[in-house]
Structure 1
Amino acid sequence: MCAQSSSAINSIDDLTPYQKAAILSVTLGDEVSAKLFKNLSKNEIEAISREIALMKKIDPDIAKAVVREFYQMLKAKEYAATGGLEYAKELLMKTLEPEEARKIIDKLVKLLESNVGFGYLENIDPKQLVKFIQNEHPQTIAVILSHLDQSKAAEVLGLLPKETQIDIVLRMASLENISPNVIKRVSEMLETKMEDLSGSNVEIGGIRAVSEVINRMGRTESKSLVDQIAEKNPDLASKIRDMMFVFEDIIKLSNSDIQEILKHVDKKDLTIAFKGAPEELNKKFFSNMSNRAAETLKEEMDFLGPVRVKDVERAQKAIVDIVRRLDEEGVISISGSGEEMLE
C-alpha cells in the first residue's frame, strides 16, 4: 500500500483514510463500490483507485476492523443528525467500549469540522483571486491554493509574483496534514473580505497536489520552477519529477527522442514494460525500430506470456529512470515533449 508495506500495517490506526476507503471498496465488492464512487469527487476516486491498485494482500482482521469503523461512523453521523453532537457522544459512550467510543467521537468531530471546504473559490476568476490573495502571507496562499482544483491552482500560481512562487510551492508540499484551527483562522480572515465564507479541510496539499499543479503550468514555467525547487530542496524536486512524468508520458516525446531511448534501454525491460503499456505507445516505439527489430520484439512479447504487475511496473520504472537521465544530460528533452525543433 501507499508509503507503507503490508508488513508495516499492524492495525487500522496504521492506515490512511484513502487506504481505509480502498479496503472498504474491495470488501464491499464492485457493485456496491460503484454506487459509493458516484458520490465522490474525481480526485477522491483516483486516490482510492491508486490504493486499490497498490494492494497485494488484505489482512482479514484489518478488513473487518475497517468495515466495523465505517458502520460505526455511519451510526455516529446518524446520531449527530438526529440529536446533535452531544447526543451522538452520549449514545456512543453507552454502546461502545470507552476507548473505542472516544476514537469514533474524535473522528466524527474532525469529519464535521472539515465538512465544508473552500468550494466557493472555484467560481472566482483566477485574476480576481490573485488580486485578493497576492498580499497575504505565502503560508496563507499555500492553504488557499491547496483547496482549489489543480488546474485553477496552477493558473493562480502562474499569475502570482515569480519571487513568491517557489516559497508557496514549498509550503504547499509540507501541508500533508494541517490543524483545523489553522484553517479556521484562515477562514475568519477571509470572511471579512468575502461573502458566504466558511469551512476547513483536514487533509490537503502534499507533494502529489504540488506536482499536479506544476504539471498544468506551461512547460517552460514548470521546468524553471522545479529547477528552483531543486536548488533549495533536491529531494522534494526529485519526488515532484517522479509524479510529473510517468511511463505513459513517453508517447509525448519526439521520434528522435524515442530512437535515442531505444539505444539505452534493456530490451528485456522493454519487452516486459510493453505488456502493461497502451497500444498507442507500443506502436510509437515499434515505428521507430527497424521492421526486423519490431517483429523480434513482438515475438518475444508473445513468447513471454502473462507477466506479474509488479514486474511490469519495475520495467517501466527502469525505462523512465533512463528517460530522466537522458533529459538531465540534455540528450533528449522531456520539457519539450513532442515539440518540433529548428536548427
Structure 2
Amino acid sequence: MSELRKAAVLLMSLPEEDAAALLGKLTPKQVEVVSIEIAKLGRLSGTEQESVIQDFAGVNPAALGVAGGGLEVASHLVEKALGAEASKTLENVRQSIQSLPFGFLKKIDPQNLMTYIMDEHPQTIALILSHLPSTYGAEIIKGLPAERQLQVIRRIANMGQTNPEVISEVERGLESRMANVMNQSFEKAGGVNSVAEILNVTDRATERTLLESLAQEDPELVDEIRRLMFVFDDIGKLTDKDIQTVLKNVETSQWAMALKGASPELKQKVLGNLSTRAAQTLNEEIDYLGAKKLSEVEAVQQQIVDIVRKLEDAGQITVHAAEENEQLVQ
C-alpha cells in the first residue's frame, strides 16, 4: 500500500473535524493530492483500516469500519480545510476523478453493475475491475460463477498495458447501457435484516416453522437471520431469571470480554444478577483485560448470543420479542 493511500485511509478513519484540521496544515497542492486519493478510495474494509491505523499509537479501535471515501467526502473535507480558498482545489479534484477510467461506476452499487457485466467476456470484466477499487471489485468477483471468477482473475493477473482507445470504447459502451441506472435513485429494501425484523414480531411457532424449512435449503442463511434476530444488547431485555440461566452457561472470561463494549445499563443488569463476590470478581477481570480490539469484543458477544439462542431453542429461556407484551393470565 502506498504512503499516499495510507494517508487517505488514516484521514477517513478520523472524525471529520480532526481530518479537516490535519488537511488545513497542508499546502493547497498537498490537499489536492490527498483529496484525490480519498475520492478514489471507494469502500474501505475494517481490515485495511486496522492495518494502517496500527502504524499510529493511541488510536481508538472503535473508529474502525467507516463506509469509505468518495468524491463527496473528499469535497466536504477540502471545504472544511481550505474554506474560501477551496474552489480551485475542488475543481482540480473533480476533474482528476472524472477523468479516471470507469470513474462513473463509483456511484453505482456493485449489484447493479453485476447485472450489466455478468454476460460480458471475462477479458472485458477483467478490464473493468482492474480500474475499480479492490473492495468494489471483490464484491463483483464474489457474485460471479466459480468458473468465471477464475477466468477473470487470471486475466487481471496477466493484464499488461491496454490501449487507451480500447478502454474508452468499453467505458462508453458500459456508460451508455447504464445511463438509466445512473439517473435513477434506488431505495434499498428487503434483505436479511428485513427478514429478521419480521420474524422478531411473529409468533414463536411460525418463526420456528419458517426457519426450519429454510434451513433445509440454506442453513447458512438461517444462521445469519438468527444472529440478527437477537443481538447482544437485547440481553438487557431478558428477565432476571433468564439472565441467571444464561450466566450459568457462559464463562466469566467471556462475560469480561463481552462487557468491555456493553452499555452501562446492560453491564449493571448482568452484574446485578450475580452475588456480590462474583460481581466483584467479574469487575476485576474486566479491568485486568485493559484495552481490546472492537472486533475481539464483538466476536465474544456473538458467542454469548449463540448460547442464548441455543437456550431458547431448548426451552430454558424466552427471548422472543412478540412475547414481551403478551398478556399474563392469573
TM-score (norm 2): 0.47
Structure showing greater relative contact order (alpha-carbon pairs closer than 8 Å, 6 or more residues apart): 2
